[in-house]
């Protein structure tokens, strides 16, 4: 009878351990934080990193374009002032004429 009781207790323990193993396996494969969910999240991260890199490249291109436009406008304005004598609104243009030197005789 003691051996029978021991055998029955052992079956209960083994049954509980199997149940725990099944629950843990379920959570590993299907539940929250499962391998499938982790894999999906890693794919999302990779997609977002790729999108982020594309946006960074676009930002660099736009920054370069803005700089070109700024420098281009400055260069155009400088040329217009020096070669054409153009001025901005509200500025006063002063032209200084240097006296011609008489030739020495």
For the segment 14-57, what is each residue's pLDDT rounded down to a tens digit? 999 999 998 888 877 777 778 888 889 999 999 999 999 999 99
Per-residue burial over 34-58, b if 16 or more Cβ lie within 10 Å, else e, is eeeeeeeeeeeeeeeeeeeeeeeee
Cα 65 from chain centroid (whole Å):
19
pLDDT confidence of residue 105:
52
pTM of the full structure: 0.47
């Amino acid at each position: 009878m003691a051996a029978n009781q021991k055998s029955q207790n052992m079956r209960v323990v083994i049954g509980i351990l199997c149940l725990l193993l099944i629950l843990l396996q379920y959570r590993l494969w299907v539940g929250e934080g499962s391998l499938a969910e982790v894999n999906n999240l890693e794919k999302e991260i990779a997609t977002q990193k790729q999108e982020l890199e594309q946006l960074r490249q676009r930002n660099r291109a736009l920054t370069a374009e803005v700089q070109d436009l700024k420098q281009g406008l400055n260069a155009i304005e400088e040329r217009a002032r020096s070669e054409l004598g153009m001025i901005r609104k509200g500025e006063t243009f002063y032209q200084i004429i240097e006296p011609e030197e008489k030739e020495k005789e």
